[in-house]
Chains A and B, each alone.
Chain A
């Protein structure tokens, strides 16, 4: 495990949610040193720390099997943590049983009660807590999810998207402190998923509850959440606002899992307050110190493909920056809005370049000699001890 991962998780300041109450993170959900080891000895969640401010929307993002569901189940009370504590609104709820926690879950498979109609499914939590005025609350909730006309149907008579909204309504109606969503959209087709994402986000803004949303779809995480926690192997690799995670990944896993990255080995020449200067296969490049996440004398210099500019050999570049000559185009694929190149560098590595089809530059062909460059402020530098390919496959399978 990269030593930086845990510190990243706890050290990163949680970005303010749109309408975080004055209580700040104290009113929210806090997981401290949470560990889950299953009976078979497998550690699914390892010493996990997480702070979720009240009213925020956090997405847990990570490859299959990284412990997302396990984490949610511990918060819901369906799984007993091996160690660590869970606090909610300042109260330790670690030892409370599931039915005693002000937490509701939208299950991965909805888990709607097949013997109850939609109305009774939604009313279930209210009835258990003997809340008054069930009728009007359920009606209002069904209206919110636009299912008022289906109230007397059984779950099996609804479409997948409708069932999903019932599951959401059934949990939301209880106005829990935290709403847990475990890949609720996983089974939907793309179009329905997009509209449901928007709907869930709208509802969250409307009701102002804390949402914890598990997904392994990075696009879903980035569009919906205020904060994204990237999980890998039972720990949180990095936590932050979507743009920050994308622009300034702290580990090779995050760099590869969220989008794509070129990672090139470099040796640190000097460090100053503002920039770190590195030698990249004989070329001197600079990376802002704030984006340098290694103390060693070597590091992975990272740059997103769309940040790399491609040009004629020796041509003037539009912007000053790190210039890397000597590339040869080895593959070209035209995808409409952009052209994606693979460029073989003198040291043998192939770099990815996405070039916007603005019409200002011409298209290059395979075998042409080209020069690459990028603005130093877009580059980042990662620990050389991390696997440069970490998260590559996971990121692409989405």
Chain B
């Protein structure tokens, strides 16, 4: 390695640099961050602020009479009391779907990264191919796949996994399967990016150092793929927790999730304060979970 050789000119230029140019460099940094900051301010901070404001309106207001700002923190209590079930259901379905995605996605990403050879890029394109059609159309087509008279149900009934009167559509199984299907690419892509970066010689080194292939996987491949696991699970869990399309199309009335409630309150019941309180709560809940998770996973330490 030529580290020693590189170090010399670098320190030389650093030392020779007048301190003013460093300050200028800092200003350039802020300038570069400006568009993104403005963007965030405009499209995140402002709406979020008004969402919080809306959530504190007196919930008995209406479009007709207007909304009164009463700092009705009680909205949050009411909302939790009334809707804790769909809340939990959302998180539970999202967690299940994320787990399924992780298992399926890991195997898939592993195979693509290490075993696919020259088919690697074709397979990657196939992974993202579903994105070429609309989310809704994809979910609706699952209605057909899981239909009571469809081949999946027929096959499972033939295998006695399902009883003759059992169904898949309009059950939690269908909702979780739909979520897992729709968000699988979000899991596979970061996993692949992480796995593909792993030098196969590291795995060889582990087996050279007496690690059985399983142990080698667990001690080398898995920890090195953790950044992909963390970002993949986040990219899957977060949208899955907020998704309501799968519950709406593939679930029954008993599988409604918090997204359905929020939509219903906003659009049908026309109850902005309740819907806003639910949205804020969902957001805070997810951010909190993500923070805890990232802490626990210790991603900052990885590489």
Chains A, B in direct contact (C-beta < 8 Å): yes
**What is the interface size of chain A, counting residues whose CB is below 8 A from a CB of the partner?**
30
- Residues in B with CB closer than 8 Å to A113 are 202, 205-206, 220
The residue in chain B whose Cβ has the minimal distance to the Cβ of A154 is B303
- Whether B296 is near chain A, meaning CB under 8 Å from some CB there, is no
Known: A111-B201, A111-B202, A128-B215. A170 touches B209 (CB 8 A): yes
- Residues in A with CB closer than 8 Å to B219 are 124
Choice from B1, B4, B210, B224 contacting A99 with Cβ under 8 Å: B210
- Residues in A with CB closer than 8 Å to B223 are 115
Of the candidate stretches A27-35, A101-109, A194-202, A305-313, the one touching chain B is A101-109
Q: A159 → chain B, closest Cβ, in Å?
A: 6
Known: A99-B212, A107-B201, A109-B201. A78 touches B303 (CB 8 A): no
- Whether A125 is near chain B, meaning CB under 8 Å from some CB there, is yes
A104 near B302 with CB under 8 A, answer: no
B210 near A128 with CB under 8 A, answer: yes
Q: A319 → chain B, closest Cβ, in Å?
A: 48
- Residues in A with CB closer than 8 Å to B215 are 128
Q: A310 → chain B, closest Cβ, in Å?
A: 41
The residue in chain B whose Cβ has the minimal distance to the Cβ of A108 is B201
B201 near A125 with CB under 8 A, answer: no
Q: A366 → chain B, closest Cβ, in Å?
A: 39
B201 near A128 with CB under 8 A, answer: no
Choice from B205, B211, B302 contacting A105 with Cβ under 8 Å: B205
Measured CA separation A78–B213 after assembly (Å): 12
Measured CA separation A207–B186 after assembly (Å): 52
Q: A59 → chain B, closest Cβ, in Å?
A: 20
B209 near A188 with CB under 8 A, answer: no
B224 near A114 with CB under 8 A, answer: yes
B210 near A129 with CB under 8 A, answer: yes
A111 near B210 with CB under 8 A, answer: no
B205 near A107 with CB under 8 A, answer: yes
The residue in chain A whose Cβ has the minimal distance to the Cβ of B220 is A113
B224 near A115 with CB under 8 A, answer: yes
Choice from B2, B204, B303 contacting A115 with Cβ under 8 Å: B303
Measured CA separation A113–B215 after assembly (Å): 14
B210 near A174 with CB under 8 A, answer: yes
Known: A113-B220, A114-B303, A115-B224. A159 touches B207 (CB 8 A): no
- Residues in A with CB closer than 8 Å to B63 are none
- Residues in B with CB closer than 8 Å to A112 are 205
- Residues in B with CB closer than 8 Å to A107 are 201, 204-205
- Whether B199 is near chain A, meaning CB under 8 Å from some CB there, is yes
B207 near A78 with CB under 8 A, answer: yes
Interface residues of B in 199-242 (CB under 8 A from A): 199, 201-202, 204-213, 215-216, 219-220, 223-224
The residue in chain B whose Cβ has the minimal distance to the Cβ of A128 is B210
Choice from A76, A77, A111, A171 contacting B199 with Cβ under 8 Å: A111
Choice from B1, B207, B209, B303 contacting A160 with Cβ under 8 Å: B1
Interface residues of A in 109-140 (CB under 8 A from B): 109, 111-115, 124-125, 128-129
Q: A392 → chain B, closest Cβ, in Å?
A: 29
Known: A113-B202, A115-B223. A159 touches B1 (CB 8 A): yes
A174 near B1 with CB under 8 A, answer: no
- Whether A98 is near chain B, meaning CB under 8 Å from some CB there, is yes
Measured CA separation A99–B212 after assembly (Å): 6
Interface residues of A in 153-170 (CB under 8 A from B): 159-160, 163, 170
A98 near B224 with CB under 8 A, answer: no
- Whether A389 is near chain B, meaning CB under 8 Å from some CB there, is no
Q: A162 → chain B, closest Cβ, in Å?
A: 10
Q: A225 → chain B, closest Cβ, in Å?
A: 22
Known: A114-B303, A159-B4. A98 touches B208 (CB 8 A): yes
Known: A109-B201, A111-B199, A111-B201. A189 touches B4 (CB 8 A): yes
- Residues in B with CB closer than 8 Å to A98 are 204, 207-208
Measured CA separation A113–B224 after assembly (Å): 9
- Whether A283 is near chain B, meaning CB under 8 Å from some CB there, is no
Q: A184 → chain B, closest Cβ, in Å?
A: 12
The residue in chain A whose Cβ has the minimal distance to the Cβ of B211 is A128
A187 near B208 with CB under 8 A, answer: no
A99 near B303 with CB under 8 A, answer: no
The residue in chain B whose Cβ has the minimal distance to the Cβ of A130 is B210
- Whether A37 is near chain B, meaning CB under 8 Å from some CB there, is no
- Residues in A with CB closer than 8 Å to B4 are 159, 189
Q: B92 → chain A, closest Cβ, in Å?
A: 32
- Whether A97 is near chain B, meaning CB under 8 Å from some CB there, is yes
- Whether B5 is near chain A, meaning CB under 8 Å from some CB there, is yes
Measured CA separation A109–B205 after assembly (Å): 11
- Whether B3 is near chain A, meaning CB under 8 Å from some CB there, is yes
13 interchain pairs, CB-CB under 8 A = A77-B207, A99-B208, A99-B216, A100-B210, A104-B208, A111-B199, A111-B202, A113-B202, A115-B224, A128-B215, A129-B210, A174-B209, A174-B210
Q: Which residues of A contact B (CB under 8 A)?
A: 76-78, 97-100, 103-105, 107, 109, 111-115, 124-125, 128-129, 159-160, 163, 170-171, 174, 187-189
- The 3 nearest A-B residue pairs measured at CB: A160-B1, A125-B209, A128-B210
